[in-house]
Amino acid sequence: MYNSFRRDSIVVRKTSSHAPGVLEDVKGYGIASVYTPVSKRKNGYARHMMRLLHWVLAPHSSLPAEAFVWGAPPQPTSSTGNATFSVLYSDVGPDFYHGCGPDGVPRTGWAANGAVHTAWNVGAQASREQGTTAEWKWLSKDDVVQLYENEAEAMKQDVVASAPIGTSFSFLPNNGVGLFNINRTMVFEENSIVPILLCESWGVSLVKSNDVSPTFATWTLDARNHGTALVITRLRVQPAGLADLLAQVQEVARGINAYSVEAWNLSEDLKAEAARIGGTTEERKDHLPAYKWYGKETNDEVHWLFNEKSVALSVLLYIY
CATH number listed for the domain at residues 117-283:
3.40.630.30
Query: 79: which DSSP letter?
Result: T
Residue of 252, 248, 316, 293 whose CA lies nearest to 63: 293
CB–CB of 170/316 below 8 Å? no
195-250 pLDDT tens trace = 889 899 999 999 976 667 899 999 999 988 889 999 999 999 999 999 999 999 99
Overall residue count recorded for the chain in this entry: 320
129-173 pLDDT tens trace = 555 567 999 999 999 999 999 999 999 999 999 999 999 999 999
Q: Is the pLDDT higher at 35 or at 76?
A: 76
Region 285-312: mean pLDDT is: 92
3-46 pLDDT tens trace = 888 999 999 999 998 999 999 999 999 998 888 888 888 898 88
Q: Please state, in angstroms and rounded to a whole number, the distance separating the CA atoms of residues 81 and 87.
A: 15
Structure confidence at residue 127 as a pLDDT band (50, 70, 90): low
Q: Which residues contact 197 (CB under 8 A, 6 or more apart)?
A: 141, 182, 185, 186
The answer to whether the pTM exceeds 0.75 is: yes
CATH 3.40.630.30 region(s) of the chain?
A: 117-283
Rounded to the nearest 10 degrees, how much is the dihedral formed by the CA atoms of 12, 13, 18, 19? -70
For the chain, give me the number of helices (H) and strands (E)?
A: 5, 16
Strands 302-304 and 166-171: parallel
Q: Please state, in angstroms and rounded to a whole number, the distance separating the CA atoms of residues 233 and 25.
A: 22
pLDDT for res 129 = 54
% of the chain beyond a pLDDT of 70: 92
% of the chain beyond a pLDDT of 90: 70
Dihedral sign, CA of 65, 67, 73, 79?
negative
CB–CB of 84/295 below 8 Å? yes
Round to the nearest angstrom and report the end-to-end CA distance of the chain.
Answer: 12
Q: Is the pLDDT of residue 318 over 50?
A: no
pLDDT for res 32 = 85
